[in-house]
Structure 1
Amino acid sequence: MVDAQALEEVVRFTAELIRIDTTNYGGGDGNERGAAEYVVARLAEVGVAAQILEKAPNRSNVVARIEGAEADAPALLVHGHLDVVPAEAADWSVDPFGGEIRDGMLWGRGAIDMKSMDAMVLAAVRSWARAGVKPRRPIVIAFTADEEASAEFGSEYLADAHADLFADCTEGVSESGGFTFHGGNGLRIYPIGAGERGTAWLRLSARGTAGHGSRANPDNAVSRLAAAVARIGAHEWPLRLTPTVRAALTELAGVYGVEPDLDDVDGLVAKLGPAAQLVESTLRSSANPTVLRAGYKVNVIPEHAYAEVDGRVLPGGEAEFAATMDELCGPDVAWEYQHRTQPLAAPVDSPAFAAMRAAIQKFDPEGHPVPFCMSGGTDAKQFARLGITGYGFSPLGQTPELGYGRLAHGVDERVPVDGLGFGLRVLDDFLRNA
């Protein structure tokens, strides 16, 4: 059990980490050094040695190891990223980097995604050191850079250049799971990530004949690109049920007391109330046009036109996705991957998953932990290259009016102070006993 000091520290550490601006603007523009040094200092205070590892100056990662009571047991990786997405201060009710506590809430960029989880890990490890407690199995802790972009300077770098630090890790836990999802009628659901759609960020390009805007031009790059983008945006991707999504639908049907009819998935999802949003984005692969670039003057037809598409691919759907993009783009528009990561799937009948369930139910006996597949992605994709099975488990107590998905990356990001204590208790129980 965590002590009173740990419950105070998890709030303080979250606030202090928020006050260290680690905004990741993409394209290599980021700086996690201050947060990395903060983490190292907090660990050093209780005798835990940690090292800062960088692919480029100030793109800082921290790795530490906690030995377990069962020294020969396979290690568990616990990872959280230090960077955050940008926040436009003018849009917020508070300073997004103020770490302010107001009305029982801790406000700031990263409060959910994911400096609260980083703080929980620090508070748990420090409480173990004070009490002389060891977790059952060895634990490798990684605080990473660059998760909010391509992970080039973060988990990808660690997996490529420092794989030896994770050699005995078989499973890992990180963000996007274990939080309270209020499902209506007083139902508290705790989705645990057991899969991720793969990332397929695309760049489309069309080439035509440049010319005067007043003249007929059937070889117009903008027209060709626009037609392809419209086809991609309108495409209806086929239903594909992965094992994780099947398990999610089956268990959610049980929570809501409805028949788990997987032959009528749309009808089943319609009966799941608010919880439909936990599965609806992972029933299919997807491709959403997000960026268009072409031209420089209204009366000039440009030779080139470009677009970007955010594609997400279900496990097992990589070949289908590529073939579909070939068809939708047609012969006149080329496409290529800008950034690509593999889809993930993790077993929901594993001892680790059972331990996550147990930890949640210990502190909320009326809660319903269920597996789900994340629509986006995490650093687990990079660590999967090392053979580490990844789960989304960053427990957090949420009130009904707050939404994890709405506030992560959103304006006025905040977490309940009491929810941090709940998350710490759950995470501590899991890490010590997994």
Structure 2
Amino acid sequence: MAESDVAALCAELIRFDTTNRGDGDAEGEREAAEFVAGVLSRAGVEPKIIESAPRRANVLARIPGRDPALPALLAHGHLDVVPADAADWSVPPFSGEIRDGYVWGRGAVDMKDFVAMILAVVSEGLRPRRDIVLAFVADEEDNGLYGAHWLAAEHAEEFSGCAAAISESGAYTYRVPAADGRMVSLYPVGAAERGTAHMRLTARGRAGHGSRRNDENAVTRLIGALGRITSHRWPVRLTPVVEAFLTRTGQALGVPVDLSDVDGTLARLGPAASLAENTVRVSTTPTMLQAGYKVNVIPGVATAQLDARVLPGTEAEMLDELDALLGPGVEREFVAHQPAVEAPVDSPWFTAMADALRAEDPGAVVVPYCLGGGTDAKAFSSLGIDGYGFAPLWLPEGFPYREMAHGVDERVPVEGLRFGTRVLKHFLRTC
């Protein structure tokens, strides 16, 4: 069975050191792409490797469906990973060691597990209803300019006919207590993502000697602006996906939901609130500061970088309010800008995902949710493809899944991989 091999596939993928340090500094993507292409070829699927730059490799393939009239589905995953400091780990981070029921290593949950599950399903001889397009890409852990965004811009024809896509950050087991004491197994499926609006704030003033009064101090202006931004309480803005999450999760847990009092509703949801608390508002978080070159010199310029995340339909409102908070003498400019995305919840795609999860876990409560950050779904949304976070994974109770991505001792349970492979097999064959 395919699920019996998925742990070995995941371990092999982890052993390719595909560290992406950003700004074009990456390694190992070509070797990993060749491995993936080899697995596909042995399964009778014809892959192609497309490089956006030397050794920045992406693997594409299309599996014909039984009914070519149906819209195609895209399944995409990234091959790169963030850096890992081996000194902090219990095992070498690129060992792909399998022990204690887990596959260990950088990328185990972000996201070589999903890549391995897809490859395992395909290796078993996938005969889908509709065309399945596969994309295993580079550079997601930076900005996607060598991977998904480049593919969407330069090779859009490869995704012709695709109406929806599945990828990371959703459909994992999340156990939460109900009002009556029962433990409920939620499976949050990503149906939206906040947009990215990373900005550089530049304060300008009059340079001068540090010992003298200066009412045009750029540092002071910048600090004032940041103080106003961090103390500002952004209003609640409920999008359809977040509203559906609150309503359906509250019903499953047997707790009252009052959409006119979202903060109160979140408090009643208990641990489940963590899946929504960051997506009921926009956020504006200062992350970087730079000013000056000598302690006794007031600089004429001070800069900061701001990680702003916006909900669908809220960007214009957020920018207007932000401009008011900046005040005089402070300007903003985008350093990264990607729109929020949202896919339909009441759709045949979502129904098919829920059916596939319940086929393996009859007690599964499948709810949509909005990701606080982002994935390559943003790139493919530019082609009109609805993106869903659907990388099914069974997790043992107490497993700190959300701490694994980019964390130390990243690992994924072998039984979770086998569960996810069965769910994906069911979904890809029947959707």
User: TM-score, normalized by length of structure 2?
Assistant: 0.97
**8 Å CA contact retained: 2:64, 2:132:** yes
- Following the alignment from structure 1 to structure 2, what is the Cα–Cα distance between the partners of residues 34 and 283? 41
- Following the alignment from structure 1 to structure 2, what is the Cα–Cα distance between the partners of residues 345 and 404? 24
Unaligned runs of 5+ in 1: none
Q: Please, which of 401, 405, 418 is the counterpart of residue 404 of structure 1?
A: 401
Q: Deviations over 1:296-330 (max 9, x none)?
A: 22222222211111110000001012112211112
Which of 256-265 and 64-73 deviates more? 256-265
**8 Å CA contact retained: 2:3, 2:419:** no
Q: Please, which of 104, 112, 115 is the counterpart of residue 115 of structure 1?
A: 112
Q: CA deviation at 1:398?
A: 1.1
Percent identity of the aligned residues? 56
1:179 aligns with 172
Q: Please, which of 353, 356, 379 is the counterpart of residue 353 of structure 2?
A: 356
2:142 aligns with 149
1:273 aligns with 270
1:321-340 maps to which residues of 2 (within 5 A)?
Answer: 321-340=318-337
Q: Please, which of 6, 9, 33 is the counterpart of residue 10 of structure 1?
A: 6
Partner SS for 2:53: coil
- Following the alignment from structure 1 to structure 2, what is the Cα–Cα distance between the partners of residues 189 and 225? 43
Which residue type is aligned with residue 167 of structure 1?
Answer: S
Q: Deviations over 1:83-135 (max 9, x none)?
A: 1111122222221111112211111111001000001111111111xxxx510
Which residue type is aligned with residue 122 of structure 2?
Answer: V
Q: CA deviation at 1:222?
A: 1.2
**8 Å CA contact retained: 1:181, 1:403:** no
2:191 paired with 1:194: yes
- Following the alignment from structure 1 to structure 2, what is the Cα–Cα distance between the partners of residues 27 and 348? 36
Q: Deviations over 1:19-70 (max 9, x none)?
A: 1111111112113111111111111112211111122111111110000011
**8 Å CA contact retained: 1:33, 1:60:** yes
Which of 234-243 and 45-54 deviates more? 45-54
1:83 aligns with 80
Structure 1 moving runs of 4+ over 4 Å: none
Which of 59-68 and 82-91 deviates more? 82-91
Q: CA deviation at 1:210?
A: 2.1
- Following the alignment from structure 1 to structure 2, what is the Cα–Cα distance between the partners of residues 231 and 102? 50
- Following the alignment from structure 1 to structure 2, what is the Cα–Cα distance between the partners of residues 400 and 299? 56
Partner SS for 1:358: helix
2:412 paired with 1:415: yes
- Following the alignment from structure 2 to structure 1, what is the Cα–Cα distance between the partners of residues 159 and 400? 33
2:97 paired with 1:104: no
Which residue type is aligned with residue 268 of structure 1?
Answer: T
2:18 aligns with 22
1:379 aligns with 376
Q: Please, which of 57, 68, 85 is the counterpart of residue 54 of structure 2?
A: 57
Which residue type is aligned with residue 243 of structure 1?
Answer: P
Q: CA deviation at 1:428?
A: 1.2
2:128 aligns with 135
Partner SS for 1:25: strand
Which residue type is aligned with residue 404 of structure 2?
Answer: L
Q: Deviations over 1:360-413 (max 9, x none)?
A: 111001121111111111111110110101111001111222233221111111
1:264 aligns with 261
Q: Deviations over 1:277-297 (max 9, x none)?
A: 011110001111111111222
Q: Deviations over 1:180-229 (max 9, x none)?
A: 11213422110001111101111111122222222222221111111111
- Following the alignment from structure 1 to structure 2, what is the Cα–Cα distance between the partners of residues 397 and 193? 16
Q: CA deviation at 1:353?
A: 0.3
1:170 aligns with 163
1:248 aligns with 245
Which residue type is aligned with residue 407 of structure 2?
Answer: G
2:425 aligns with 428
2:363 paired with 1:369: no
Q: Please, which of 52, 64, 68 is the counterpart of residue 67 of structure 1?
A: 64
**8 Å CA contact retained: 2:102, 2:414:** yes
- Following the alignment from structure 1 to structure 2, what is the Cα–Cα distance between the partners of residues 296 and 9? 57
**8 Å CA contact retained: 2:242, 2:280:** yes
2:246 paired with 1:282: no
2:330 paired with 1:299: no
Partner SS for 1:282: coil
- Following the alignment from structure 1 to structure 2, what is the Cα–Cα distance between the partners of residues 271 and 358? 28
CA RMSD after TM alignment: 1.1
Partner SS for 1:55: strand
Partner SS for 1:281: coil
- Following the alignment from structure 1 to structure 2, what is the Cα–Cα distance between the partners of residues 302 and 88? 36
Partner SS for 1:140: strand
Unaligned runs of 5+ in 2: none
1:230 aligns with 227
